[in-house]
Amino acid sequence: AQKVTQAQTEISVVEKEDVTLDCVYETRDTTYYLFWYKQPPSGELVFLIRRNSFDEQNEISGRYSWNFQKSTSSFNFTITASQVVDSAVYFCALKGTSGTYKYIFGTGTRLKVLA
């Protein structure tokens, strides 16, 4: 069975602080894909990043960075120097490759960045 766990339900930080959102996944597939999405108050989910299971390089995009560790089945997301506009719900998702079209989403982490 596939599963994504986002243990942090809600996080509050003060603007300019760094914050890390945790994501732990379970899958038996040897090849799989991991994703992060942002859901601002408007509701639409915005795709942030895709990571393939065979590529463990960490990625940085501006203030965003992602740390993928297969050894601990984690795909954590760090926002550096957070801003109020980062306030949103963030979802981690997993897609296996064993004949499935389904994406498994975590329950999301609500991030509140206070001015």
Task: Report if residue 91 touches another protein, rule: CB under 8 A.
Answer: yes
Residue 77 C-beta: closest distance to another protein, Å: 15
Task: Report if residue 26 touches another protein, rule: CB under 8 A.
Answer: no
Select 33 or 80, whichever has its Cβ closest to another protein.
33
Cβ(94)–Cβ(4) below 8 Å? yes
Non-local CB neighbours of 3 within 8 Å, separated by 6+ positions = 25, 26, 27, 94, 104
Cβ(111)–Cβ(9) below 8 Å? no
Task: Report if residue 107 touches another protein, rule: CB under 8 A.
Answer: yes
One of 41, 42, 85, 115 touching another protein (CB under 8 A):
42
Distances from the Cα of 15 to the Cαs of 19, 72, 112, in angstroms?
10, 30, 9
**Could you tell me how many residues of this chain bind another protein (CB under 8 A)?**
23
Element spanning 69, H or E: strand 64-69
One of 45, 64, 78, 80 touching another protein (CB under 8 A):
45
Cβ(87)–Cβ(109) below 8 Å? no
Contact residues: another protein, CB under 8 A: 31, 33, 35, 37, 42-47, 50, 52, 91, 93, 95, 97, 101-103, 105-108
